[in-house]
Amino acid sequence: MSKYVKNLIADELKGRLDGVSDAIIANVIGMNSAKTYEIRKLMREKGVSMLVVKRSLAGRATADSSLNSLFEGKQGSMAIIWGCDDFVSLCKEIATLVKSNQFAKFELRGGVMDGEELSAEQVLAISKWPNREEQIALLVGQILSPGANLSAQLLGSGAKLAGQVKKLVENKEGEA
């Protein structure tokens, strides 16, 4: 392949990966086309993109981005996987693929989060973290908890007082 063609492909890759700061790489080499299509279809449904590229071309395309560390020291072709709402959700999706026996030749090779290179084990560990939605739910629960406790305390004593007043009224009506 001529240098001109390589530069064209690298520019195309650079355009596709523009704005991507977190990604995962995997090895899908050796899988038949039906399994690869099935993986791509599953990922498309989840809003995840997957692109199989040659390491040297991907390294050239990401030379000035945070994804460059993904390709250092790696050999051959690999799949770049990015997307989802946040990186933890992406890790969860990839972890389900790795753990399923359906795609035996799908091999997780690592990732990059906020410019920091991650090993395959670190990516699987991140998949156990709460994702963005879960973190927001935890935060909202923690914010609302003191208010709910205060409301319950105010309503509890008010209800008790109202019950006592009602009982007094009923006793007075019974005497009359």
The stretches in the chain having pLDDT less than 70 are 176
H helix or E strand, kind and range, residue 42: helix 33-45
| 147, amino acid identity | G
> Rounded distance, CA 28 to CA 52, Å?
8
The pLDDT value given to residue 176: 62
The pLDDT value given to residue 123: 92
The pLDDT value given to residue 100: 85
The pLDDT value given to residue 31: 87
Q: What is the pTM of this model?
A: 0.75
The pLDDT value given to residue 25: 92
